[in-house]
Amino acid sequence: MILNGVAIYVLWLREMKRFLRAKSRIVGSLAMPLFFLAFLGFGFSRMAIPGVSVGVKYVNFLVPGIIGMGMLFSSMMAGMSVLWDREFGFLKEIMVAPVSRVSIVLGRIAGGATTALIQAMMILIISLFIGFRIASFGAFIMALAFMLLISTSFIGLGLVFASKMKDMQGFGLVMNFIIFPLFFLSGALYPLQNFPPWVRLLTYADPLTYGIDGLRASLLGVSSFSLLFDLFLLLGISVLMVSLGAYFFEKSESV
């Protein structure tokens, strides 16, 4: 038990050091979300967007979606570190260590979730300078809960794919093929009510839909579903994805 706890901490610390040392990674992870926020938020600021609640500016409506976007990209790409470690032999070393593979998965999820939260907080802080306001401290804490669930859900999904693949280039292509549909179907950029009925059915199968809707419910007080519905459904999805990630990682080969 103690060794497993140490393994989780060491893997978390390793991810933190890799993240903080890679300044270009931090800048790169923020660039695209901030471009979306600036160009879409200000570009459509004077337009009446159908479906956006009265009294809510589009740039404020967009902030939770952009936070979700940043977390989706960083969380899914966390699976790339598994392929990187397999490529350079580190994965083989930790696989033979006297710790459970579940603890290795939890360490990776903890590290990936922490870096995703840091990036989300950076986006949220920057959004304060363009007029976004958080209603209360309780709203902030609830938003943090949704951020954590979003990151763990998609890190788990990324681990599922990374455990079944061995090629880093192929992983990147597959992730892009998955990430962009998840992002555009989530309602991050526009209200779900604007979708045709048949497309709206697809949005209900997208876990990010409930994460972004929960962030809007927490930070803006507007949402398509109830706050508790978003919270408990996303919690169930998070547990499922982490369990699947742990299962496939345990069955994967280290070389």
Distance of CA 72 to the CA centre of its chain: 3
What local confidence, expressed as pLDDT, does residue 161 receive? 80
Query: Looking at residue 200, what DSSP letter applies?
Result: H
Angle between helices 58-76 and 23-43 (to 10 degrees): 150
**Helix, coil or strand: residue 249:** helix
CB atoms within 10 A of CB 225: 17
Q: For position 148, what pLDDT does the model report?
A: 92
Q: CA 50 → CA 18, 57, 220, distances in Å?
A: 43, 12, 17
Q: Cβ(75)–Cβ(112) under 8 Å?
A: yes
Separation CA 161–CA 12 (nearest Å): 21
CA distance 123 to 126: 5
Q: What is the largest CA-CA distance in the chain?
A: 60
- In this structure, what token pair is assigned to residue 192? 């779900």
Which pLDDT does position 155 carry in this prediction?
87
Surface-to-core class of residue 95, CB atoms within 10 Å of its CB (0-12 exposed, 13-18 middle, 19+ buried): middle
pLDDT of 214 reads 92
Query: Residue 255: what pLDDT?
Result: 46
* Cα distances (Å, whole numbers) of residue 232 to 145, 149, 170, 229, 245: 11, 10, 34, 6, 20
Instruction: Return the residue matching tokens 């990187």.
Output: 84
Burial of 18 (0-12, 13-18, 19+ CB in 10 A): middle
Residues lower than pLDDT 50 in the chain: 255
Q: Give the tens place of pLDDT for each residue, 85-126.
A: 666 666 666 666 666 767 777 888 888 888 888 888 888 888
Q: Residue 175 has which token pair?
A: 């992730």
Closest CA to 64 of 156, 135, 114, 112: 135
Per-residue pLDDT of 53-85, as tens digits, reads 666 787 888 888 889 988 888 887 776 777 666
* Structural contact between residues 108 and 78, judged by C-beta atoms closer than 8 angstroms: yes
Tokens found for residue 243: 């369990």
Report whether 24 contacts 120 (CB < 8 A).
no
